[in-house]
Structure 1
Amino acid sequence: MSSKALIDSAVFNSTTSGRKGIADQLFAHWFSRLVYAQIWEDPQSDLDALALKPGANILTISSGGCNALAYLSANPAAVHAVDLNAAHLAMLNMKQMAIKHLPDYDAVLAYLGDANQSDNIKRYKRHIREHLSDDASNFWESRSISGQPRYHYFAHQAYQHGLLGNFIGLAHYFVRMMGGNLSKVLEANNLQEQQTYFDQYVAPAFETRLFKLLAQQPLALYSLGIPPSQFEALKHDAKEGLHTLFKERMRHLCCDFPLDENCFAQQALGRRYDTSKQKALPLYLQQQHFDALRSNIDRLHPHHMTLTQFLQKQPRESMDAYLFLDAQDWMDEQQLTALWEEVTRTAAPHAKVVFRTGGETSPLEQKLPASILSLWHTDTEKNRALYATDRSAIYGGMHLYTKI
């Protein structure tokens, strides 16, 4: 099934009608291209929540692929990475083959970490090209708007590409237009200075009349991967206006964690990874995990289908961990129930599910039948504590459910 058909099936549901129906169609069209060159959920928070034992079977959504690769550090039996969008699976395959076939860690860091060296064209042609899947090869060898094959992204700031990468670039331009400067926060030397620079160079942009207007437009947020249904959840939580909600989440990203330990802030504020600092890199690119990732790289399996379709093919009690990102925000009651029927059937004893939500609250208590919900346990206070550890800070909640 094509990416468009899969995305349509996910976005169009019982709530698709009227003005929302038009918005759903626009979002589905927008989301069918490369959205995320890197992922925006913190894998360290995931691993802390899951406390995986070696040999676990893991199901995750691929997105930009960073987290699926990070989970290999836990020595699982398998990581199954599902995505509706073939472009995301092409990105995952590129990263997987780079880790597997480039000569050493330094070459991997240059290719996937810096992702801005002319020698990366040679690395691609010599070590990666022949190992890509057919679908990934078709994606990377096809030409982008610039006229060059897409594999040239990795010689020209790979993470500034994709819809989210473009959005971040526009955000930098917007803040400068409003008299601020996102990149100035990176000059801070400690958490106190991060707060001071944020208040001086970033926060005022959120209070401008123009931003307040843009924050009310769902279309303006499509490049963040926020569908119309999730936008409604954001509005519900925005007691003081969406501009204030977005400002506080940006404050969490910029101010609550040391910058040299936050790869998400490095991308949001600097539009690159700081390859000179190991803790500032995504977990999957840190040298301490390289040997484990390379040893386990063939345990990563991509699947172009929905989560429910994948689980319908799995044996009973065969999965230990599920990571759903924010996909459930897209689902109506019927879709969510169908998914959790399969999650409950395939869950091994004490299996765990981790996901994010655009709003603060989990949708499960309102949408799942009691017969399913009674088989799972969650702890609201623990969920809040987990959320506080997620350095990406773009969501309203992080939730952990454990099979009873």
Structure 2
Amino acid sequence: MTSSVTQAIGTAVHENRPLTLGGISDRVFARLFRGLVYAQIWEDPVADMTALELTEADHIVCIASGGCNMMSYLTASPSSITAVDLSPAHVHLNRLKLLAAENLPDHATFYALFGKANRAANIPAFDRYLAPHLDDDAKAFWNGRTLSGQRKAMFRKGLYRFGVLGRFLGAIQTFAWVTGVDLRRLLKAQTLEDQKAFFEAEISPLYEARLVRFLARRRSSLFGLGIPPAQYDKLAADAGGDVIPVLRERTRRLFCDFPISENYFAWQAIQRSYKGDGTGPVPPYLEARHFDTIRANAGRVQILNQSVTDMLAEQPSAAKSVYVLLDAQDWMSDEQLNALWSEITRTAMPGARVLFRTGGADDILPGRVGEALLDRWEYDADASRRAFENDRSAIYGGVHLYRLKG
């Protein structure tokens, strides 16, 4: 990792002086974020695409993260996608997904690598079809070793078991099992009523456990979800400073508001994988019906190891039409927010849309982004509400959509 990227990650999350508990917490999170955090992104691409009404004329800017959304946006055949991320591991994973779409022989091989993600045959397929197309940096990354072995072996051992989120979910599953709760039983639920009954009887009481309450009330406890200290405070604010009711409600939404047969986020939360036989819900980019479209459009994507603001500063005016910021703004200072929105506004085409999520329920821009700047945009309350209601990941407090005026 270059020093400039390390500095950028630090700038994104450091809000406190170094020699304070808050400062130490910030720096621990920044350290974690230098590696793989999300093998699967935790924002719903279907909700996004519906709200944004993507077209073939769109030029999209997005944060890469685990790459599921960037790849899924390709099903709409946009003119271009520029995906950025401060984590080099996320950049490598995104580039690999594009390379796989272009060079693997068929959907079955593609699905084995990123859908099943735990087959011994994935390594020979990687070596045969992908390795010859990797640049030196990518070869060093995927052939490099970690504490658990060679990095590319993740595709044999279970990709979604790795990364900060994968290990965090594994710890939750282990805790539930130790306390006598088999979360996998929920995957057999036939109705929403069955799901709600299981949640109330088995999952909700876990939040009363002394250990859970002790850990959850510490800002570092949610690092495993990719939630930095500043965002933790926004979550807790929705319940008067106590994060426990917020976590319980968002867990309830995840497991109760959407049929298990349609919610791959619930499958990942429960067993860190999709349905084993390949018949369950998956992100759009993994569906067989979209494979040819994704293969044809993969060349329209550029993946950069930069911040959104820095990347936009290098773009011409009126060059982009869609911006998907995930929850990155929750990490930002007022100065960083204004710098970002200055570049968004400068590079926005007529009809441009910006979609983002917040840890808390409220839109964070009013009162923080300069009034003259924010007045260039119109908040779409109806589309924001629908996107939030349709977001199966259920981890966020709000989804927000702005449209450029005029």
Instruction: Please classify the TM superposition score into its range, dividing by the shorter chain length.
Output: over 0.9
**Secondary structure in 1 aligned to 2:145?**
coil
* Structure 1 residues 67 and 16, CA gap change in structure 2 (3 angstroms): farther
Alignment partners' CA distance in 2, 1:133 and 1:184:
44
* Structure 1 residues 378 and 302, CA gap change in structure 2 (3 angstroms): same
One-letter code aligned to 2:399: M
After TM superposition, the score normalised by the length of structure 2 is 0.96
In structure 2, the residue matched to 1:54 is 56
**Secondary structure in 2 aligned to 1:60?**
strand
**Secondary structure in 2 aligned to 1:340?**
helix
Give the deviation of 1:149 after TM superposition: 1.3
In structure 2, the residue matched to 1:33 is 35
Deviations 1:317-368 (A, max 9, x none): 1101000000000001000000000000000011000111100011101210
Give the deviation of 1:134 after TM superposition: 3.3
One-letter code aligned to 1:190: T
Deviations 1:31-65 (A, max 9, x none): 11111111000000110111022131100000001
> Is residue 297 from structure 1 mapped to residue 298 from structure 2 by the alignment?
yes
**Secondary structure in 2 aligned to 1:37?**
coil
**Secondary structure in 2 aligned to 1:183?**
helix
**Secondary structure in 1 aligned to 2:211?**
helix
In structure 2, the residue matched to 1:152 is 153
* Structure 1 residues 14 and 216, CA gap change in structure 2 (3 angstroms): closer
More off after superposition, 200-209 vs 289-298: 200-209
Write out aligned runs for 1:114-129 (5 A).
Answer: 114-129=116-131
Given the alignment, which residue of 17, 23, 26 partners 2:25? Answer: 23
**Secondary structure in 1 aligned to 2:399?**
strand
Alignment partners' CA distance in 1, 2:298 and 2:289:
15
In structure 1, the residue matched to 2:379 is 378
In structure 2, the residue matched to 1:230 is 231
Write out aligned runs for 1:313-332 (5 A).
Answer: 313-332=314-333
Give the deviation of 1:26 after TM superposition: 1.5
Contact 2:68 2:283 in 1 (8 A): yes
Counting aligned pairs with the same residue, the percent is 41
Alignment partners' CA distance in 2, 1:5 and 1:60:
21
One-letter code aligned to 2:7: A
In structure 1, the residue matched to 2:272 is 271
Unmatched tracts of structure 2, length 5 or more: none
In structure 1, the residue matched to 2:244 is 243
* Structure 1 residues 354 and 51, CA gap change in structure 2 (3 angstroms): same
Give the deviation of 1:279 after TM superposition: 5.8
Write out aligned runs for 1:93-112 (5 A).
Answer: 93-112=95-114
Report how many residues are paired.
Answer: 403
One-letter code aligned to 1:53: T
Q: Which aligned runs of 4 or more in structure 1 are off by greater than 6 angstroms?
A: 14-17
Deviations 1:225-271 (A, max 9, x none): 11111011111112483112111101111111111211111111122
Deviations 1:79-136 (A, max 9, x none): 1110001000111112111111110011111111001111111100100112124333
After TM superposition, the score normalised by the length of structure 1 is 0.96
In structure 2, the residue matched to 1:77 is 79
Alignment partners' CA distance in 2, 1:240 and 1:364:
21
Given the alignment, which residue of 140, 150, 154 partners 1:138? Answer: 140
Give the alignment's Cα RMSD to 1 decimal. Answer: 1.6
Unmatched tracts of structure 1, length 5 or more: none
Deviations 1:354-399 (A, max 9, x none): 1111000111012101001101111334322210100001111100
Give the deviation of 1:19 after TM superposition: 3.1
**Secondary structure in 2 aligned to 1:280?**
coil
In structure 1, the residue matched to 2:184 is 183
In structure 1, the residue matched to 2:175 is 174
Alignment partners' CA distance in 2, 1:331 and 1:11:
7
**Secondary structure in 2 aligned to 1:365?**
coil
* Structure 1 residues 72 and 275, CA gap change in structure 2 (3 angstroms): farther
Alignment partners' CA distance in 2, 1:195 and 1:343:
42
In structure 2, the residue matched to 1:86 is 88
Contact 1:275 1:281 in 2 (8 A): no
Alignment partners' CA distance in 2, 1:187 and 1:244:
26
Contact 2:173 2:271 in 1 (8 A): no
Alignment partners' CA distance in 1, 2:19 and 2:361:
25
